[in-house]
């Protein structure tokens, strides 16, 4: 039984209406007969029929917002990891069952049609997926919240594994032809870049800088309708494609500079070509900067245009709009907003600055110093001369403020300045975002504390009221209702379907957590999900896995701080206990890994190779048969996560404490009844607080202990190596040929890294990790106890709905309401 409240499925006319709508699109959009259609044809026709409903909702919603003259929030993000939309939209419209029936009458299965849709992979990982969950929550809550981003022609690369190595293939999703995107050429934006500043004066002899000789970028918006659960609100995500406007070209052609016009065309079209992974080499950097500015400038123009349609007084802008910066990637919005107010609307500097701060909020997503964005001042100067001038002015005024408070404290100013003057001078985007916003938030309680105490303590001393915490969440519509319909059905049958829009209601499951019949049904669903995943693994990784074994899952981006390597060390330890000591594991396990490494991140790519080599050795060892299996599932993406997460027994969340800002996968796994093995990092801490420490396997050093160790000369891995034979055996296995018989020396670097200069303290947490894993195995054998805990996990995840997160942003940062 699927929970749905919409009228669509209950109207008697709904069936023929949907059938006719699909048939109409087959004929008039695809220009085909209703016979002999492929699943892909039916996907397109169905999506277009659904899109028509979305458009009705979109126009109705806009009219409602206008009548209320509602304040709106705009979420600026370089990434929106939307995944597939068909079934998500059907579920939110309450049309999933209906559509299943109609497609069956057309001779196919929804199951087959949904697989034809490519993932919209317009993001790298957590930050992009969070943006997608937020859009779902905003629409479900009936709040006027909209996204702005880039319509990348190529999303995140596709991952193939060959010879154990990651290879990247371009992801050519249908940026130009997606049925979910509505092109809006009438709202095309023209954005100047490059050029120079003429330091002119106006008639009253006031300084009046002119930005001259610029080139242009042209942004064409494409809107993706975002329907909330129940179908009452349809917001939108506006994605810009860079292109050339013929009209504008004409002006240049008329000016006679034919070659320049053609050159510009090439430059402009490259801007929305590809999503950057988080690590890129300096060579590609200028284009990334252009991307960041391009979409900020388009978004700001669009926001101003919308405001002006109904409001005359620019000074009231902060009463009607809020803008959230998803990390520093859109931080140029600070300078762009100032430029528009000061240069284009003649607002005085002081007032413009107050308005800018009132409008903007900034969310930080990382504590890793190397991940903080900095741009060479010379590059910014070259690409955006007027913005660099504004940034300098902002910084000079900020300097005066800091100097008044801490006279003569030049060390403090060096730490706080927006511009780091040590050559080559760089602009610190986080500082720009903090100075230009009224709100700075982290994404979990621990992370927000560390932002204040470690990342930018000087700013916290200056403006303590600006800093706060907004713990992340995930949407239960996609991550339970859609991804795990059987479990969703069981829950709705037991406690009603109110949890779909009020996740705290899951608490009602506590009453049945120990109930034998409920446990039986719960475990049968988990088993079915595991069997389905086993099928998928057989096809994609060519490995047979036993659905009766414990599914131990580590699925996320591959990064050293996330410590996939620690999981591998645990596996190798278990394997060596088996083959060298003759001690078999307590329960058979399948170790499942999935995740992409940034193409330029050598160590992460080596870890993928290591996982695949370890898998090869263990899976081919008859002594391990039926006891241990290791698989790397290629091409982790939203649609694959929807298959993997509902099938997990154990969720690995084992980052070094103090490095994972929040994590959101951790929430999705627990919501689907997996137990977590994790460190006291990010949102794991708050999960433990909610779940109770009996119901989560916590291990390892705390962030504080690690900081303390680091201050006192590091984690001393060599001492552990000398002292502990288990550590020694695992580390030595990496320097031996055991996991690379045909590639001698391949993993020697790992032994060296672990013993010398390991920033992520793998060895320091190793014994604690394998002890926690032993407890996991022990408890998995006590079936009722395990199930009890798994059900309690589901019951107590209410806090981690992105609905709660969005309500907090709405009340504390944006001051917006449901309409």
By annotation, the residues acting in catalysis are: 365, 556-557, 562, 664, 668
SS3 label, residue 814: helix
Q: How many whole angstroms separate alpha carbon 274 and alpha carbon 1?
A: 41
Q: How many whole angstroms separate alpha carbon 122 and alpha carbon 131?
A: 11
Single out the residue of 153, 183, 147, 184 nearest to residue 171, CA to CA.
153
Instruction: Report in angstroms how near the CB of residue 600 gets to ligand 26Q at its nearest.
Output: 10
Single out the residue of 771, 772, 761 nearest to residue 703, CA to CA.
761
Cis peptide before 424 (omega within 30 of 0): yes
Contacts of 556 (CB under 8 A, 6+ apart): 125, 126, 562, 595, 636, 663, 665
Instruction: Report in angstroms how near the CB of residue 286 gets to ligand 26Q at its nearest.
Output: 12
Instruction: Report in angstroms how near the CB of residue 78 gets to ligand 26Q at its nearest.
Output: 7
443 backbone dihedrals φ, ψ, rounded to 5°:
-115, 5
Distance, CA of 365 to chain centre: 10
Taking residue 361's Cβ as centre, other Cβ atoms within 10 Å add up to: 24
Q: How many whole angstroms separate alpha carbon 82 and alpha carbon 132?
A: 6
Q: How many whole angstroms separate alpha carbon 218 and alpha carbon 200?
A: 27
Nearest residue (CB) to ligand 26Q, 127 versus 161: 127
Nearest residue (CB) to ligand 26Q, 492 versus 664: 664
Residue nearest to ligand 26Q (CB): 126
Q: How many whole angstroms separate alpha carbon 688 and alpha carbon 793?
A: 10
Nearest residue (CB) to ligand 26Q, 126 versus 646: 126
128 neighbors 77 (Cβ within 8 angstroms) = yes
Q: How many whole angstroms separate alpha carbon 462 and alpha carbon 455?
A: 14
Nearest residue (CB) to ligand 26Q, 402 versus 474: 474
Instruction: Report in angstroms how near the CB of residue 722 gets to ligand 26Q at its nearest.
Output: 34
Nearest residue (CB) to ligand 26Q, 288 versus 320: 288
Instruction: Report in angstroms how near the CB of residue 740 gets to ligand 26Q at its nearest.
Output: 30
Nearest residue (CB) to ligand 26Q, 366 versus 613: 366
Instruction: Report in angstroms how near the CB of residue 338 gets to ligand 26Q at its nearest.
Output: 23
Nearest residue (CB) to ligand 26Q, 588 versus 663: 663
Give 22's Cβ-side CA count (13 Å radius).
Answer: 26
Distance, CA of 258 to chain centre: 42
Q: How many whole angstroms separate alpha carbon 596 and alpha carbon 757?
A: 24
**Where do the H-state alpha helices sit in 663-761?**
665-671, 684-691, 703-711, 717-723, 725-735, 748-755
In terms of C-beta density within 10 A (0-12 exposed, 13-18 middle, 19 or more buried), how is residue 584 classed?
A: middle
Nearest residue (CB) to ligand 26Q, 6 versus 441: 441
Instruction: Report in angstroms how near the CB of residue 139 gets to ligand 26Q at its nearest.
Output: 20
416 backbone dihedrals φ, ψ, rounded to 5°:
-95, -25
SS3 label, residue 375: strand
Instruction: Report in angstroms how near the CB of residue 412 gets to ligand 26Q at its nearest.
Output: 27
SS3 label, residue 186: helix
Instruction: Report in angstroms how near the CB of residue 472 gets to ligand 26Q at its nearest.
Output: 5
Instruction: Report in angstroms how near the CB of residue 659 gets to ligand 26Q at its nearest.
Output: 9
Q: Which residues of 12-24 are buried (b: 16+ CB within 10 A; e: fewer)?
A: eebeebbbebbee
Contacts of 10 (CB under 8 A, 6+ apart): none
Single out the residue of 96, 83, 87, 181 nearest to residue 131, CA to CA.
83
Binding residues vs ligand 26Q (CB under 6 A): 124-127, 130, 276, 278, 280, 288, 365-366, 371, 373, 443, 472, 660-664, 682
Nearest residue (CB) to ligand 26Q, 318 versus 682: 682
């Amino acid at each position: 039984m699927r929970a749905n409240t919409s009228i669509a499925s209950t109207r008697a006319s709904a069936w023929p209406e949907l059938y006719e709508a699909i048939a109409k699109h087959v004929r008039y959009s695809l220009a085909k007969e209703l016979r002999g259609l492929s699943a892909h044809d039916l996907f397109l026709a169905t999506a277009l029929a659904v899109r028509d409903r979305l458009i009705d909702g979109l126009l109705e919603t806009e009219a409602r917002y206008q009548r209320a003259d509602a304040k709106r929030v705009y979420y600026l993000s370089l990434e929106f990891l939307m995944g597939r939309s068909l079934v998500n939209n059907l579920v939110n419209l309450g049309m999933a069952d209906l559509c299943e029936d109609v497609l069956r009458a057309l001779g196919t299965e929804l199951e087959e049609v949904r697989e034809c849709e490519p993932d919209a992979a317009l993001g790298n990982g957590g930050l992009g997926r969070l943006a997608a969950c937020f859009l779902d929550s905003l629409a479900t809550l009936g709040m006027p919240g909209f996204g702005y981003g880039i319509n990348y022609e190529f999303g995140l690369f596709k991952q193939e594994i060959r010879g154990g190595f990651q290879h990247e293939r371009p992801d050519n999703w249908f940026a130009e032809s997606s049925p979910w995107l509505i092109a809006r050429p009438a709202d095309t934006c023209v954005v100047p870049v490059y050029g120079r500043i003429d330091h002119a004066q106006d008639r009253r002899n006031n300084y009046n800088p002119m930005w001259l000789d610029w080139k242009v970028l042209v942004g064409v918006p494409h809107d993706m309708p975002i329907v909330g659960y129940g179908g009452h609100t349809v917001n939108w995500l506006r994605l810009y494609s860079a292109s050339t406007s013929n009209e504008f070209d004409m002006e240049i052609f008329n000016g006679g500079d034919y070659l320049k016009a053609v050159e510009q065309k090439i430059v402009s079209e490259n801007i929305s070509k590809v999503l950057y992974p988080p690590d890129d080499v300096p060579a590609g950097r200028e284009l990334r900067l252009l991307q960041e500015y391009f979409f900020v400038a388009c978004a700001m123009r669009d926001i101003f245009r919308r405001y002006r349609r109904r409001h005359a007084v620019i000074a009231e802008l902060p009463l009607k709009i809020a803008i959230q910066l998803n990390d520093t990637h859109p931080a140029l919005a600070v300078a762009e907003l100032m430029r528009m107010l000061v240069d284009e609307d003649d607002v005085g500097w002081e007032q413009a600055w107050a308005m800018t701060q009132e409008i903007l909020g900034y969310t930080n997503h990382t504590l890793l110093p190397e991940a903080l964005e900095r741009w060479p001042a010379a590059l910014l100067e070259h690409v955006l001369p007027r913005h660099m001038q504004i940034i300098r002015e902002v910084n000079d005024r900020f300097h005066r403020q800091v100097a008044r408070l801490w006279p003569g404290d030049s060390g403090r100013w060096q730490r706080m300045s927006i511009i780091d003057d040590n050559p080559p001078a760089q602009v610190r985007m986080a500082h720009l975002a903090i100075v230009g916003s009224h709100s700075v938030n982290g994404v979990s309680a621990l992370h927000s504390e560390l932002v204040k105490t470690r990342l930018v303590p000087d700013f916290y001393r200056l403006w303590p009221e600006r800093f706060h915490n907004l713990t992340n969440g995930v949407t239960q519509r996609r991550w339970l209702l859609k991804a795990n319909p059987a479990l969703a059905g069981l829950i709705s049958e037991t406690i009603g379907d109110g949890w779909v829009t009020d996740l705290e209601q899951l608490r009602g499951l506590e009453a049945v957590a120990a109930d034998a019949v409920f446990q039986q049904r719960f475990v049968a669903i988990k088993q079915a999900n595991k069997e389905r995943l086993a099928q998928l693994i057989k096809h994609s990784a060519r490995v047979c896995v036993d659905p009766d074994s414990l599914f131990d899952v580590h699925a996320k981006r591959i990064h050293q701080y996330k410590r996939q390597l620690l999981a591998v060390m645990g596996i190798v330890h278990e394997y060596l206990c088996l083959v060298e000591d003759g001690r078999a594991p307590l329960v058979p396990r399948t170790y499942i890994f999935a995740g992409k490494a940034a193409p330029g991140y050598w160590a992460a790519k080596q870890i993928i190779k290591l996982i695949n080599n370890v898998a090869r050795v263990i899976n081919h060892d008859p002594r391990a048969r039926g006891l241990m299996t290791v698989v790397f599932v290629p091409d982790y993406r939203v649609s694959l996560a929807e298959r993997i997460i509902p099938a997990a027994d154990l969720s690995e969340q084992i980052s070094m404490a103090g490095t994972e800002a929040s994590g959101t996968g951790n929430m999705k796994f627990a919501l689907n009844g997996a137990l977590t093995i994790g460190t006291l990092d990010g949102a794991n801490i708050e999960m433990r607080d909610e779940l109770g420490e009996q119901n989560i396997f916590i291990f390892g050093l705390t962030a504080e202990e690690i900081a303390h160790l680091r201050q006192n000369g590091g984690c001393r891995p060599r001492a552990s190596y000398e002292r502990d034979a288990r550590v020694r055996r695992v580390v030595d296995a990496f320097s031996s040929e055991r996991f690379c018989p045909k590639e001698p020396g391949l993993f020697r670097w790992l032994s060296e890294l672990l013993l010398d200069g390991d920033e992520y303290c793998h060895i320091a947490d190793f014994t604690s990790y394998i002890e926690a894993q032993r407890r996991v195995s022990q408890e998995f054998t006590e079936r009722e106890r395990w199930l009890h805990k798994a059900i309690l996990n589901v019951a107590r995840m209410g806090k981690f709905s992105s609905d709660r997160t969005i309500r907090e942003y709405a009340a504390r940062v944006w001051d917006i309401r449901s309409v």
